[in-house]
């Protein structure tokens, strides 16, 4: 009888996650934790079931149909079953709402992002429009646009799938991916006062979103980022027909293939300025900072999944007379992956906690500055790390890891988007420098580091703590020099 190796399996992804459970127990009041634990456990069970289910069916992708049988241009986008399911889950579990509701006060963001972390991989990147929806809600609130808040906010935060809306973020154009200031989309105002957008958006993530925030340049406004205006639009009418826009193509991407990213042409799409005219990049910035936090959470969720599979496999697979986990080199490899993951996890959830505190007016100015500084850092570090961790996890399973049906190749392909969208590593490094020019940021970093290092008190950690202090001081000195450069 030929030997057949059993595949890596997943248990309940909440119950099995020592790191998440430890953090929540440490950071949340016991009453909050016991209130949310059942839904975390339910999503943890769903994560494991969804992983198994995906292994048993062939890959699906959204489908774009341009014409109906009579020759009418319809640009119908059919979504995958997982995307339909994820919309339901997102509303019912409040994956956006939990971050904005007052139920758990400043702990709301921890609650929300624990849910997101558990659901991300099972969502087939439905987390992308959820991140943008969260960003849009944050952006409208920051802009204080009462009309748009009254219209869209209750939908973005709805826990009812029938009324839940998702938002897109339409910035990228052919001349401007990172350099958004090069955007060419024009905004023209009709005689009756209606603004309309004309131009090509080259990477409209989640094209089927109910609303979108889009940057465009009012005619005569001049060049550069500051002349752009942020507009709110609803791309389809009540009958589901596109409002003066066409969907030219769905992007043939390396990964995130269930996510319908599209090339669209705006042909006079009605839109409304979010916060007056001009300063569009500054107005959309709150959205960018929120989606960057989501990106970091989804990156650590990806790492955790890759490591869970590699670890389970190490307890099943025998080589050279013993289990892989009994080989010191293999154990060291897994331990190194886990160490990187845990560091990334702690940084990311620190950002999440700061976000919740800032939103509820708990943090002081120094905390706000630290949040602004750590957000791009968490995004840039975790995005790149997720790719490396997935790659190493594949190697941990050898040839079995390289096979499509096992799921790890898709995890790696999907991870590759994390360092790219929402600011590449270099763009975010420049953002960090932008922040550091504010002396309060450097001081916040100093204070934040000192507070964290105070917690390193166990005698066994004395040497490591000392090394960390020296490295932190070197880093601070280097950052001060960089921040002073023109």
| Chain contacts with ligand MFK (rule: CB under 6 A) | 127-128, 131-132, 169, 171-172, 178, 180-181, 205, 225-226, 279, 281-282, 285, 288-289, 291, 294-295, 298, 421-423, 427, 431, 434
Phi-psi region of 318 (alpha: psi -120 to 50; beta: other; left: phi over 0): beta
Closest CB to ligand MFK among residues 397, 418: 418
Contact 310, 396 (CB under 8 A): yes
Smallest separation (angstroms) from ligand MFK to the CB of 22: 24
3-state helix, strand, coil in the chain (%, to 5): 55, 15, 30
Q: Which residues pair with 63 in a beta bridge?
A: 78
399 vs 1: CA distance, rounded Å: 21
Smallest separation (angstroms) from ligand MFK to the CB of 91: 18
134 vs 355: CA distance, rounded Å: 13
Closest CB to ligand MFK among residues 267, 285: 285
Smallest separation (angstroms) from ligand MFK to the CB of 434: 6
Smallest separation (angstroms) from ligand MFK to the CB of 394: 21
Closest CB to ligand MFK among residues 89, 131: 131
Smallest separation (angstroms) from ligand MFK to the CB of 227: 11
Contact 33, 21 (CB under 8 A): no
Closest CB to ligand MFK among residues 12, 127: 127
Smallest separation (angstroms) from ligand MFK to the CB of 483: 14
Closest CB to ligand MFK among residues 214, 334: 214
- Here the tokens at position 308 are 């869970």
Smallest separation (angstroms) from ligand MFK to the CB of 234: 18
Closest CB to ligand MFK among residues 156, 294: 294
331 vs 338: CA distance, rounded Å: 10
**How many C-beta atoms surround the C-beta of residue 316 within 10 A?**
14
- Pick from 416, 407, 350, 422: which is nearest to 385 by CA? 416
Smallest separation (angstroms) from ligand MFK to the CB of 110: 18
Smallest separation (angstroms) from ligand MFK to the CB of 349: 16
Half-sphere exposure (Cβ direction) of 316: Cα atoms closer than 13 Å: 16
Smallest separation (angstroms) from ligand MFK to the CB of 297: 8
Contact 271, 195 (CB under 8 A): yes
In Å, the largest CA–CA distance within the chain is 81
Helix (H) or strand (E) holding 247: strand 245-250
Closest CB to ligand MFK among residues 202, 313: 202
- Pick from 12, 47, 40: which is nearest to 24 by CA? 40
CA distances from 323 to 307, 309, 339 (A): 17, 15, 22
Give SS3 for 314.
helix
Q: Dihedrals φ, ψ of 211, to 5°?
A: -140, 170
- Pick from 430, 66, 50: which is nearest to 248 by CA? 66
Closest CB to ligand MFK among residues 111, 119: 119
Closest CB to ligand MFK among residues 155, 253: 253
Burial (0-12, 13-18, 19+ Cβ within 10 Å), 446: middle
Closest CB to ligand MFK among residues 170, 242: 170
Smallest separation (angstroms) from ligand MFK to the CB of 298: 4
Q: 325 Cβ partners below 8 Å, 6+ apart?
A: 311, 314, 315, 331, 334
Smallest separation (angstroms) from ligand MFK to the CB of 451: 23
280 vs 278: CA distance, rounded Å: 5
Closest CB to ligand MFK among residues 225, 267: 225
- Here the tokens at position 111 are 């609650």
**How many C-beta atoms surround the C-beta of residue 176 within 10 A?**
18
Closest CB to ligand MFK among residues 12, 289: 289
Alpha helix segments (H runs only) across 315-398: 328-359, 365-396
């Amino acid at each position: 009888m030929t030997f057949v190796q059993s595949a890596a399996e997943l248990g309940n992804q909440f119950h099995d996650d020592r790191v998440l459970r430890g953090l929540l127990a440490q950071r949340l009041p016991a009453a909050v934790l016991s209130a949310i634990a059942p839904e975390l456990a339910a999503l943890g069970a769903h994560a494991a079931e969804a992983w198994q289910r995906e292994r048993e069916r062939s890959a699906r992708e959204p489908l774009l149909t341009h014409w109906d049988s009579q020759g009418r241009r319809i640009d119908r986008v059919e979504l995958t079953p997982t995307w339909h399911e994820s919309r339901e889950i997102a509303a019912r579990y409040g994956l956006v709402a939990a971050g904005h509701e007052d139920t758990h006060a400043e702990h709301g963001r921890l609650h929300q992002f624990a849910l997101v972390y558990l659901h991300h991989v099972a969502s087939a990147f439905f987390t992308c429009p959820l991140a943008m929806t969260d960003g849009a809600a944050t952006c409208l609130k920051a802009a204080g646009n009462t009309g748009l808040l009254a219209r869209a906010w209750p939908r973005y935060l709805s826990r009812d799938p029938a009324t839940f809306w998702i938002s897109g973020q339409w910035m990228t154009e052919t001349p401007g991916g990172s350099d958004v200031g090069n955007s060419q989309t024009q905004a023209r105002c009709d005689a009756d006062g209606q603004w309309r957008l004309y131009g090509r958006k080259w990477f409209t993530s989640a094209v089927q979103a109910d609303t979108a925030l889009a940057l465009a340049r009012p005619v005569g406004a001049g060049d550069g980022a500051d002349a752009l205006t942020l507009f709110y639009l609803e791309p389809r009418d009540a009958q589901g027909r596109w409002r003066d826009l066409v969907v030219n193509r769905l992007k043939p991407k390396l990964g995130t293939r269930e996510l319908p990213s599209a090339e669209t042409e705006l042909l006079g799409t009605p839109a409304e300025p979010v916060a007056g005219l001009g300063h569009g990049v500054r107005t959309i910035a709150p959205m960018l900072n929120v989606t960057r936090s989501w990106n970091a959470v989804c990156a650590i969720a990806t790492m955790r999944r890759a490591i869970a599979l590699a670890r389970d496999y190490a307890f099943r697979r025998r080589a050279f007379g013993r289990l892989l986990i009994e080989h010191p080199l293999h154990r060291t490899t897994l331990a190194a992956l886990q160490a990187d993951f845990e560091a990334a996890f702690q940084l990311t959830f620190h950002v999440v906690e700061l976000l919740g505190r800032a939103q509820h007016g708990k943090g002081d100015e120094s905390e706000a500055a630290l949040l602004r500084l750590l957000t791009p850092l968490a995004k840039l570090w975790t995005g790149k790390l997720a790719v490396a961790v997935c790659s190493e996890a594949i190697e941990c399973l050898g040839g079995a890891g390289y096979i499509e049906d096992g799921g790890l190749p898709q995890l790696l392909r999907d991870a590759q988007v994390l360092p790219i969208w929402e600011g590449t590593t270099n763009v975010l490094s420049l953002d960090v420098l932008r922040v550091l020019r504010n002396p309060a940021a450097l001081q916040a970093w100093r204070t934040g580091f000192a507070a964290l290092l105070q917690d390193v008190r166990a005698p066994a950690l004395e040497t490591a703590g000392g090394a960390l202090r020296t490295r932190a001081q070197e880093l601070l000195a280097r950052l001060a020099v960089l921040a002073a450069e023109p």
